[in-house]
Chains A and B, each alone.
Chain A
Amino acid sequence: MKPIELESVSKCFNGKSAVVDFSIQVEKGERVVLLGPSGCGKTTLLRMLAGLLAPDEGRIFLDGVLVAKSGRILRPPEERALGMVFQDLALWPHLSVSGNIQLGLKAHGLPGRDRALRVGELLELVEMTEYADAKPSELSGGQQQRVALARALALRPKLLLMDEPLSNLDLELNIKLRADIIRLQQATAFTLVYITHDPEEALDIGTRIVMMREGRIEQVGKEKEVREYFEKIQNRARAGS
């Protein structure tokens, strides 16, 4: 039973194709990176996996369960047991750091003591214990990033989706947080689907890299294939200019 199976998934917006006939299977514990330029359909794909969008065509299975097919969401986001880190992090500004982390736990009816324990564990995991009562606006970019990660892991998801989470950070912090993400993934053994447009970041994080163009898979592989893909893009850009 694969954590993720996509069968011929397509999605259009106002007649324009965002994702076209996309199929993929992801193994348990894999770190799959979707790499591609802006507008190639990466985020649309991730939002369909999360249940925030329904595919126009095709089927999506999570852990062998059909969760969406041809225009219908069969299992809503909150029942998919997955975590997600958004590009702009989407930390709830009216809640503290611990409030952000425990909202999901509260919604799932976890008793107060267990919630506090779980929040403590997660804050320790992302090294943010002393900021439990701070508001997101009081944190630096890197700290906000860690809180978003802790929040996404609060319900112990088997699958974590990350939508260009490091794109707004400086290079030094970006590289440090890549290492943190890998450390956390190895510690908690979730399956990761990670989006980026940066080949270096993709190579650092991914165990498999899916290169996308115009809503389709262009190439799948690791270092060699990414280099080839990067060269292809450079050639295309030169030819275009």
Chain B
Amino acid sequence: MTAKRTILTGIFLLVIVLGLFPILAMIAASLHADGRWTFDSYQGLLTSRREWALLRHSFVLAASVSLLTALFGVPLGILFGKTDFPMRRFFTIAFTVPLMIPPYITAIGWADFLGANGLFAKLCGEAAAGAAYNLLFGFTGCLFVLFSTFLPVVILLTMTSLKSVHPRLEDAGRLVTGWPGVLRRITVPLILPSILFGIILVFLLTIGEFGVPNFLRYDVFVLESFVQFSAFYNFGAATAAVLPLALFTVLALLIEWVFLRERFHEVQTVPEKAASPVIELGGCRTGSFVWTAVFCLTVVALPLTVLVGRSFSVSVYASALAVASDSLLRSLVYAVLGASLLSLVGFFMGYLVGRQALPFWRTADTLTIFLFALPSAVIGIGLISLWNRPLTNFIYGSSTMIIIGYLVKYAALTSRITASTLSMIPQSMEDAGELAGLGWMRRIGWIVAPMARKGLLGGWLVGYVFCLRDLETTMIIYPPGHETLPVRIMTLMANSPPERIAALCVVMACATVVPPALAWSLVSLKRGGRNHETH
């Protein structure tokens, strides 16, 4: 067995053991009680009207968020990725911020803004604020907050897929019709699979979202399994309650598999030198800029600014850090560890998928995507089913559980980023190394990894952000004394002053956003310096 086959198979098996085994163990555990096999846990499933109502709530919320993100995300993605829109890089980053922080922080910001003592009440009066506040707590609030959170998923996927459309296809269209026609008839149909994939992803992320519906008091199905698990500690019922969500995930991915996967390959690979044509907005430039700026201020800046304003005092931050500095430190350490392991596992999984290195590459890709799309409640309960045994208690009772949770949940991100980076490195680079007598590991270490370093750094940063913001998985599996900052904020919310919660939210947002921003600036600075030297 070659080193390549051994390592890639080993990593694939690791993902199966860490990710798939827990799900199977969870299902097995729910079917086994008092030493016999039984369907008792499932007998009450979906028999009450309440459960059906919760399922309907989840479905309608997820479908509405998906639709809204598509309606706004695709035009914004085209605006930032295809036109001469001013400050498009800034706006792309700005719209991404809500995705980088736990979504319930955005919800807290809105609640603060619309609350009785909030800015909205001062500006528009208490009656209007009361009405808006009531609107926030429920379906509308969940819809709005989750829309602003997942909007960048569609924006970024649209922007990325636009780069994969061969410029000549659009040039050919421009000879017969103007840009609106080219976009409508050529560009958008070509990137439609990516857009639909984004919509499916948003749907699944919304279905599994716990923090926002919990804070905004909107009953959805995922809350049911949390309640069964944490309040009643009814393991079988909790497993049964997450099963419909798992089925939703399987169904959605099946749709993606059957209808979309083959169509991805229709888009031609773009040669590096081919410059994508840019749409000149002309007279629409100012209008679109004003609209986007106002939209960005409302959706992104307002809730965060409110939190900064609410906590604007050194003493508030001092008291906030006094109660949660240990959680902050833990969050940072776990995020760095998680991101590093994710980068390692994601690199090899990405290599397996991107290079189609072994026959099971497609299964590996589907598995990581399945685990990413699966609601965290399913993963969390599954991990406990597998590891909560006398033999493995040393793992179950340690922070390793949290790191495993991150690996299982987010391997798809670093894997897909690596696969996409590798698609830009010709296979011939590796072939040349092989002809020069380099073994696979050396080709990886000396040729592929250095050439893919920018993508690897990007993957690490994405892994860091997602590990740091994670609430749902951590909340279920964290051992006593290992709670992270998002969990700590959530538990403190019930009995802490709003100023302290606001301060912790700001600290959380800064811890998530600042390191990637610094890393990005350093890379840009280094690149700028190198360009300067060559000139």
Contacts and interface: CB of A to CB of B under 8 A. Distances in A.
B171 A88 contact: no
Interface of B: 166, 168-169, 171-178, 181, 185-186, 189-190, 263, 266-268, 277
19 contacts: A77-B175, A78-B175, A78-B177, A78-B178, A84-B175, A86-B171, A90-B166, A92-B186, A93-B190, A93-B266, A93-B268, A94-B189, A103-B185, A104-B175, A104-B176, A106-B185, A107-B176, A154-B176, A155-B176
A76 B282 CA distance: 14
Given A86-B172, A88-B168, A92-B186, A107 B266 contact: no
B185 A107 contact: yes
A50 interface: yes
Interface size class of A (residues with CB under 8 A): 20 to 34
B266 A82 contact: no
Given A88-B168, A92-B169, A93-B266, A104 B174 contact: no
Contacts of B169: 90, 92-93
B348 to A, nearest CB: 32
Interface in A70-114: 76-78, 80, 82-84, 86-88, 90-94, 103-104, 106-108
Contacts of B185: 103, 106-107
Contacts of B178: 76, 78
Contacts of B268: 88, 93
A83 B166 contact: no
A24 interface: no
Nearest to B178: A78
B266 A137 contact: yes
A93 B43 CA distance: 50
Interface string A153-171: 0110000000000000000
Given A50-B175, A103-B176, A108-B176, A88 B166 contact: yes
A52 interface: yes
Given A94-B190, A94-B266, A155-B176, 15 more contacts: A76-B174, A76-B178, A77-B175, A78-B176, A78-B181, A84-B171, A86-B168, A86-B172, A90-B166, A92-B172, A94-B189, A103-B177, A104-B176, A107-B181, A154-B176
B277 A52 contact: yes
Contact of A104 (B177, B263, B277): B177
Nearest to A152: B175
Contacts of A155: 176
Interface in A49-84: 50-52, 76-78, 80, 82-84
A130 B326 CA distance: 72
Contacts of A151: 172
B190 A78 contact: no
B192 to A, nearest CB: 8
A237 to B, nearest CB: 24
Contacts of B263: 94
Contacts of A87: 168
Nearest to A52: B171
Contacts of B168: 86-88, 90
Nearest to B184: A107
Contacts of B176: 78, 103-104, 107-108, 154-155
Contacts of A78: 174-178, 181
B47 to A, nearest CB: 46
Nearest to B267: A93
